[in-house]
């Protein structure tokens, strides 16, 4: 069953769902782009490792938490009390691997465009600082940068450098920075009720843009990921919505039969 939402599904922003969705979006976006890139370019998936310092944590969508093991029952030997063996905890820097897409020129193996799908860990706290450092490094190279931000505001995209004129109710944003024109940014600012855009993916200046069909990518991710079996639309979404968004979502889910109308108490 497809998602009931015409665009981004806010229920997919849950920390337990996002890592799986993130990988699917990267994989299927690369797959959809490659036929348009042949034979001059190739879309490859790469990853970087980000590390949080001691005492800092990435948001919960980047963590795996296991319950502590129960200690064994104390035993006695010849009347002497024997201590239980304690667990040893080593405090290490927390790591996460972040996949992204690079469009590479086949002739020279040089990177032409980088496509980032942002997660909440890239938008808050230490993870945001590390991502923005990576972003600055990309922007200082002759590389196009495309940022797909499907996590609710506030955003940490390249558009932060500009006064973005967008609908007041926008929730998601895609930003495009062309390597030959760093003084401007192209954006798709998307309200919750709108479908995702089919967005331009710049290549070398002499070549036409490719087109990333985000609606198709998200639809396939939702279907293959079996999210209709995992998401409970009878409960509130994992993100805060405005009153207007809540009313619109309630009407939508009622129409789709995923919520029941409230009983009228006389």
Please state, in angstroms and rounded to a whole number, the distance separating the CA atoms of residues 31 and 25.
10
Question: What is the band of 65 on the pLDDT scale with cuts at 50, 70, 90?
Answer: very low
Which CATH code for domain 10-59+95-231?
A: 3.90.1570
For the cut 70, the answer to whether the pLDDT of residue 264 exceeds it is: no
For the cut 80, the answer to whether the pLDDT of residue 187 exceeds it is: yes
Give 135-182 pLDDT, tens digit per residue. Answer: 888 889 999 999 999 988 766 566 555 555 555 678 999 999 999 888
For the cut 70, the answer to whether the pLDDT of residue 223 exceeds it is: yes
Q: Which helix (H) or strand (E) covers residue 109, if one does?
A: none
Contact 144, 203 (CB under 8 A): yes
For the cut 50, the answer to whether the pLDDT of residue 132 exceeds it is: yes
pTM for this predicted structure: 0.80
- The region, left, alpha or beta by phi > 0 then psi within -120 to 50, assigned to residue 34 is alpha
Give 21-31 pLDDT, tens digit per residue. Answer: 999 999 999 99
Give 53-64 pLDDT, tens digit per residue. Answer: 544 554 554 444
In this prediction, residue 79 carries a pLDDT of 64
In this prediction, residue 158 carries a pLDDT of 62
Q: Where are the domains of the chain?
A: 10-59+95-231
For the cut 80, the answer to whether the pLDDT of residue 199 exceeds it is: yes
Name the more confident of 71 and 245.
245
């Amino acid at each position: 069953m497809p998602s009931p939402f015409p665009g981004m599904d806010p229920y997919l922003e849950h920390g337990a769902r996002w890592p799986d969705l993130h990988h699917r979006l990267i994989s299927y976006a690369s797959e959809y782009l490659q036929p348009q890139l042949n034979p001059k370019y190739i879309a490859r998936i790469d990853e970087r490792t980000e590390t949080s310092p001691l005492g800092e944590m990435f948001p919960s969508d980047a963590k795996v938490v296991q319950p502590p093991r129960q200690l064994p029952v104390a035993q006695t030997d010849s009347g002497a009390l024997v201590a239980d063996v304690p667990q040893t905890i080593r405090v290490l820097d927390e790591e996460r691997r972040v996949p992204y897409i690079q469009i590479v020129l086949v002739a020279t193996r040089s990177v032409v465009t980088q496509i980032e799908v942002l997660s909440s860990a890239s938008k808050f706290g230490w993870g945001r600082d590390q991502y923005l450092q990576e972003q600055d490094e990309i922007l200082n190279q002759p590389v196009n940068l495309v940022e797909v931000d499907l996590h609710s505001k506030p955003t940490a995209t390249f558009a932060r450098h500009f006064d973005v004129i967008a609908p007041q109710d926008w929730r998601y944003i895609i930003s495009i920075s062309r390597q030959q024109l760093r003084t401007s940014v192209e954006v798709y600012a998307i309200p919750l009720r709108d479908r995702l855009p089919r967005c331009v993916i710049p290549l070398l200046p002499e070549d036409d843009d490719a087109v990333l069909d985000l609606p198709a990518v998200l639809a396939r991710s939702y279907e293959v990921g079996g999210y209709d079996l995992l998401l409970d639309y009878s409960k509130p979404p994992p993100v805060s919505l405005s009153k207007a968004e809540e009313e619109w979502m309630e009407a939508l889910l009622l129409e789709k039969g995923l919520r029941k109308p409230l009983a009228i108490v006389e």
